């Protein structure tokens, strides 16, 4: 993973000092609250319903064991013993004290971490594919490109006061695990005539106006990445709407101008920047790539045999391997997903002890690194096949072996009304009620891939528009209701879910999900997944059942 040198470290250290001074001035009454609000947001600090919430950046989801241990330390010393993995591969703390945040930032800086630009109307943490560098369907590792974007966007002086927040995602695989079509900018590494270049999408997003991003540049030679981003951001900073925060995202600008006119405007701006100083040099690309080389794989040659024997013996292990393990580029190795979705625990929540366990297991079995996924799970990317069984046993002890990756109970869920002051409704208890309703593992495995995504309000932090089933908290005359949608997808063939009809009370939701699942079970053909059946038969059959 990327390792800071003196330049990177100095920037992060100086930011801690700067923020410490801003906090001091606020507490001393020298900085008005409405001004401090913008400054603290740019360092990830929200003031929530119950307490402040601090969002820590995890660039493209990568964490080392050392960093995990520091996160655990912060849980214990500054919070209530747990943290939360977000849908943008970040980590949140729900109970920090405002006056202690500078100390938390100092602790983070000691392990090359920070909370820079994790909130506010600026360029946020760049996200990527959790299987980058190990996925079998990879064209090129996306992480060096995400790191180059991280550096370029960090404290960019021209884009710190954008009309609205701005999110960039990068993918280098054939299957899109980074949801690039629902980001402000999506970057795809693609191959054309034997050359790998960049395809640029602009103006996707969820929220009130969900849009899939159009491609505005089919193929960009890689050295132009930063000048091209600069052109997009400059057009947005100058022309994006600032009169209405609900119309301020770049997707509205792209739509108003039309993608073709927007692309032409960017092209014009880019021609003036092209080949300028931000043009990437071969030396810089090589330097950044050198941090993402393949680890020293040492397969024993016995991996498959050892694994097969263990699979024969243990049915629970087999269920976990079937769901949670993915194929690896290197023979004898596997990608392991640790699903953080045990019933009765808020999706994505993790205790200090679990963080320590993950750190230890990563060190023992996966070269000391993990990745946070946008499904709020954790990936150990480089595990030897012969180590899968002992790893699974260790995960079982830590209650981290839920074999439900990608299943109905692997729910993506925002913090909702339990924590978030913007919420219309709670989301965590809805997830739990669904998990309780569907507690038969064989049944769940038979259902197969089915994403349920829950957001507590229109802001869509739980990505409900791209869930196979989406649940959105709505306010109906002061009462909490839930709108259900169906047919969304966040992968390569991204699709926005359609609203089923009138919303439901919370207690009705598990029953509604059951009815939707029943329609699937009755109508599915051959190996169709839930969303494929929906795509074939359309929404009416589901409406008829639910509103009968």
CA separation for the pair 130, 373 (Å, rounded): 6
44 touching ligand SF4, by CB under 6 A: no
Q: How far is CA 448 from CA 203, 347, 444, in A?
A: 32, 19, 6
Q: Which two tokens stand for residue 526?
A: 């051959």
Among ligand SF4, another protein, none, partner that 336 touches (CB below 5 to 8 angstroms by kind): none
Nearest CB to ligand SF4, comparing residues 23 and 119:
119
CA–CA dist 438, 442 (Å, integer):
10
Element (H, E) at 77: helix 65-78
Nearer CB in complex with another protein: 249/465: 249
The alpha-carbon radius of gyration of the chain (Å, integer) is 23
Q: Which residue number, 50 or 261, has a Cβ lying nearer to ligand SF4?
A: 50
Q: Residue 18 or 302: which CB sits closer to another protein?
A: 18
Interatomic CA distance for residues 90 and 72, integer angstroms: 14
d(CA 178, CA 130): 8
- Closest approach, Cβ 386 to another protein, in A, equals 41
Using an 8 Å Cβ cutoff, are 516 and 488 in contact?
no
User: What's the min distance (Å) between Cβ of 487 and ligand SF4?
Assistant: 20
461 binds, among another protein, ligand SF4, none (CB under 5 to 8 A by kind): ligand SF4
284: contact with another protein by CB under 8 A: yes
Least CB distance from residue 112 to another protein, whole Å?
15
Q: Are 482 and 430 in contact (CB under 8 A)?
A: yes
Residue 436 binding target from another protein, ligand SF4, none, CB below 5 to 8 Å by type: none
Q: How far is the CB of 19 from another protein (least distance, A)?
A: 11
Judged by CB under 6 A, the chain residues 391 through 430 that form the site for ligand SF4 are 414-416, 420, 422-423
Find the binding residues for another protein in span 211-240 (CB under 8 A): 226, 234, 237-238
Which residues make Cβ contacts (< 8 Å) with residue 129, sequence separation at least 6?
Answer: 135, 142, 170, 171, 172, 173, 176, 177, 178
Among 161, 291, 443, 547, binds another protein (CB under 8 A): 161
Residue 188 or 234 with smaller CB distance to another protein: 234
For 58, 413, 433, the CA distances from 503, given in Å and listed in that order, are 36, 18, 17
Cα–Cα distance between 149 and 170 in angstroms, integer?
9
Q: Which of residues 426-455 bind ligand SF4 (CB under 6 A)?
A: 455
Token pair 């890689």 is found at 222
The least distance separating ligand SF4 from the CB of residue 125, rounded to whole angstroms, comes to: 16
SS3 state at 515: helix
Which parts of this chain interact with another protein (CB under 8 A)?
5, 7, 10-11, 14-15, 18, 22, 35, 38-39, 121, 151-152, 154-163, 226, 234, 237-238, 242, 272, 276-278, 280-281, 283-284, 287
Which parts of this chain interact with ligand SF4 (CB under 6 A)?
414-416, 420, 422-423, 455-457, 459-462
């Amino acid at each position: 993973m990327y390792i800071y040198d003196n330049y990177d470290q100095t920037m992060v250290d100086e930011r801690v000092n700067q923020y410490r001074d801003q906090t001091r001035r606020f507490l001393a009454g020298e900085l008005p609250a409405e001004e401090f609000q913008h400054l603290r947001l740019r360092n990830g600090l929200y003031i929530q319903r119950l307490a402040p919430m601090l969002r820590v950046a995890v660039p493209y989801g990568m964490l080392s064991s050392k960093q995990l241990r520091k996160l655990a330390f912060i849980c214990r010393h500054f919070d209530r013993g747990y943290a939360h993995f977000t849908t943008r591969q970040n980590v949140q703390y729900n109970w920090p004290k405002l006056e202690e945040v500078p100390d938390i930032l100092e602790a983070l800086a000691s392990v090359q971490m920070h909370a820079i630009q994790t909130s506010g109307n600026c360029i946020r943490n760049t996200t990527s594919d959790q299987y980058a560098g190990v996925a079998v369907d990879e064209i090129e590792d996306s992480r060096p490109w995400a790191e180059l974007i991280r550096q370029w966007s960090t404290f960019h002086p021209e884009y710190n006061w954008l009309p609205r927040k701005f999110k960039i995602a990068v993918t280098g695989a054939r299957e899109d695990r980074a949801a690039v079509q629902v980001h402000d900018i999506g970057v795809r590494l693609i191959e054309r005539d034997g050359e790998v270049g960049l395809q640029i999408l602009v103006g996707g997003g969820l929220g009130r106006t969900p849009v899939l991003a159009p491609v505005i540049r089919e193929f960009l030679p890689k050295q132009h990445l930063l000048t091209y981003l600069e052109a997009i951001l400059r057009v947005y900073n100058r022309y994006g709407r600032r009169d209405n925060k609900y119309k301020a995202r770049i997707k509205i600008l792209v739509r108003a101008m039309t993608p073709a006119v927007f692309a032409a405007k960017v092209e014009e701006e880019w021609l003036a920047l092209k080949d300028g100083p931000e043009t990437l040099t071969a030396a810089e690309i090589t330097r950044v790539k050198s941090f993402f080389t393949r680890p020293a794989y040492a397969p024993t040659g016995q991996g498959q045999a050892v694994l097969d024997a263990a699979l024969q013996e243990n049915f629970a292990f087999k269920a976990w391997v079937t769901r949670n393990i993915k194929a690896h580029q290197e023979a004898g190795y596997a990608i392991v997903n640790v699903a953080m979705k045990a019933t009765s625990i808020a999706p994505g929540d993790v205790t200090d002890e679990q963080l320590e366990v993950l750190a230890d297991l990563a060190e023992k079995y996966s070269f000391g690194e993990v990745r946070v996924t946008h499904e709020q799970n954790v990936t150990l990317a480089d595990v030897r096949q012969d180590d899968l069984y002992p790893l699974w046993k260790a995960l079982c002890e830590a209650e981290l072996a839920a074999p439900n990756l990608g299943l109905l109970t692997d729910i993506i869920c925002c913090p909702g009304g339990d924590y978030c002051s913007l919420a219309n409704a709670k989301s965590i208890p809805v997830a739990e009620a669904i998990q309780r309703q569907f507690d038969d593992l064989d049944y769940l495995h038979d259902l197969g891939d089915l994403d349920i995504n829950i957001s507590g309000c229109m802001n869509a932090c739980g990505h409900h528009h791209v869930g196979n089933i989406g649940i959105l908290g709505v306010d109906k005359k002061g009462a909490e209701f839930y709108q259900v949608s169906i047919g969304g997808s966040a992968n390569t063939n991204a699709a926005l879910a359609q609203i089923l009809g009138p919303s439901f009370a919370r207690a009705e939701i598990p029953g509604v999900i059951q009815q939707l699942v029943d329609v699937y079970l009755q109508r599915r053909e051959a190996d169709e997944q839930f969303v494929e059946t929906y795509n074939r038969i359309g929404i009416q059959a589901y409406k008829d059942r639910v509103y009968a």
